[in-house]
Amino acid sequence: MILEQIHPDILEMAKESDSILSDIYKKIDEIALTNSNRILSAFIENRVSYSDFADINGYGNYDEGRDKLEKIFATVLGCKDALVRPQIMSGTNALYLTLSALLKHGDTMISLSGAPYDSLQEMIGLSGNSTQSLKANGVKYEQIELLNDDFDNEKIVERLKQNNVKLVEIQRSRGYSHRQSLSISKIERIISKIREVNKDVIIMIDNCYGELVEDKEPGHVGADVVVGSLMKNLGGGIAPTGGYIAGNQELIHMVAERLTAPGIGKDLGANFNLNNTFFKGLFMAPNAVKNALKTAVFSAYMLEKLGYSNVSPRYDEPRTDIIQTLELKTRDNLVNFTQGIQQTSPIDSFVQVLPAPMPGYPFDEVMAAGSFTQGSTIELSADAPVIEPYTLYIQGGLTFEYGKLSILLALSNMKGKLD
C-alpha cells in the first residue's frame, strides 16, 4: 500500500497542510464553478443530443455533433468559431497548422514572450534544417523578450508601429524557461496596447496548459486566435487525442482549409467515433483542471516546507496554468523524485525512469508519465532537462487524491535516499 511507504514526517506535514491551504483550494473551487457554468450553459444552448455521438466515417459529411462541439469550444474560449478535430494530433501540430495557414512567404511573425517552447524550435526554423519550417518557407521570425515576467510594452509598441508584422504570438505558459506564466490580465493589457497602434496584426495565443485555470480565456480579452491540445486541459483526461484552434471565422476558415483543402474547409473530417469522448472530456475539464491545480499547490507547499524555496509559482501565488516547477538542487534529488512519481502512476508503475536523450530536446531528459493516454499532460506527469539547477516541471493530476499520493511518495523517495 502506498500510504504505508510514506515517511512519517512527510505524512504529518501533509495533514497539517489541509487547513493551511483550505482558502486557496476554495478559490480554485470557485473558478471551477464559474467555468463549469460556462460549459454546461453552452451544452444546453447548443441542444447537445445523444445522436450527436454518432460515428461518422468516410469523408465525414454532415456531422452535426462535430459542428455543435466546435460551437461549444468557441463559446468556452470566448471566440466566434473553432476547429476541434482528432486529425490535430498535438499542441505542436495545432500551432504549426495555424501558423502555416496564416503566414505566407515574406510575412513576419514576432513572439512577444521570448523564445518559444523547446519543441517549437525546429517548427519555426530556429534549429534543425527542415524544409518545412516556417523560416525555410520564407516566414521571417523575430522575438521580444519579456521584462520582469511581463511584456516589454515600449519595444512591442514601437515595433508594431512599423505596420509590417503579420502576426504576433504569445506563449501563455512558461515552457522550460524560468519565467512566470502569463496571466489573462497581462495578456489583456498588451492586446489593448497593440490595438492602439495596429488594428490589423493577428494576435495569436498558445493557450496550452492554461485553459480553465482562470475565469476568462484569451478570446474573452481580444485574442484573434487561440490554440491548444485536447491531451491537456480541455480534454479533461478523457479525450485520447486531438487539438483545437479557436478564433474569428475568417482565420478559422483559413486554418480549416490548410487542414483539409481549399473549398473543403470545415465541411469534411471523420470523427473516428470520438465525438462522445470529446464532449465528455470538455464537460469534465473544469474538474480535471481544479484537481491539477490543487496538486500543484500542494506540491509547492510541501517543497517549501522542506526547505526547497525555489519553487514557482509559490504555493500562495496566483496561477495562470497548471505547470509547477520545483528546483531540487541535485541530480539525485531530481531522479529520485521523478522515480517516485512513476512508481505511483496507474500505468507502467514498474518502469524505472532514468535520464535519456529525447527527440526535439537539446539535453537528456528524465520523465515520469504513466498515463492512460500517451502524452496526456492533464494526467500527472513530471519531466526535466537534466541540467543545473535541476528544475522539475510537473503538471496534471486527474484527482487531487491520486496527485497527493504521488507527491507524498516522491518526497518520501527523495528524503529516504538522503536519510
- Give me the residue label for grid cell 469534465: 284
**pLDDT exceeds 50 at position 45:** yes
Walk me through the domains of the chain, giving residue ranges and CATH numbers.
3-35+283-418 (3.90.1150.60), 54-282 (3.40.640.10)
pLDDT confidence of residue 340: 92
pLDDT tens track for 61-101: 999 999 999 999 999 999 999 999 999 999 999 999 999 99
pLDDT confidence of residue 194: 98
H-helix segments, 21-63: 22-45
Say how far residue 75 (Cα) sits from the centre of its chain. 19
**pLDDT exceeds 90 at position 375:** no
H-helix segments, 213-359: 249-259, 275-305, 331-343
**Contact between 206 and 223 (Cβ < 8 Å):** no
Q: Note if the pTM is more than 0.85.
A: yes
Confidence of residue 419 (pLDDT cuts 50, 70, 90): very low
Mean pLDDT score across all residues of the chain: 94
Confidence of residue 360 (pLDDT cuts 50, 70, 90): low
- Tally Cβ neighbours within 10 Å of residue 296: 28
Name, in order, each residue with C-beta under 8 angstroms of 46's C-beta and a sequence gap of 6 or more. Answer: 68, 71, 72
Query: Which stretch of 34-48, 358-372, 405-419 has the lowest confidence by average pLDDT?
Result: 405-419
Taking the C-alpha atoms of residue 217 and residue 359, their distance in angstroms, rounded to an integer, is: 31
Q: Which pairing describes strands 324-327 and 243-247: parallel, antiparallel, or unpaired?
A: unpaired
**Contact between 343 and 354 (Cβ < 8 Å):** no
Confidence of residue 175 (pLDDT cuts 50, 70, 90): confident
Contacts 24+ apart (CB under 8 A), 117-122: 117/171, 117/173, 117/175, 117/176, 117/206, 118/175, 118/176, 118/360, 118/361, 118/362, 119/92, 119/360, 119/361, 120/92, 120/95, 121/360, 122/360
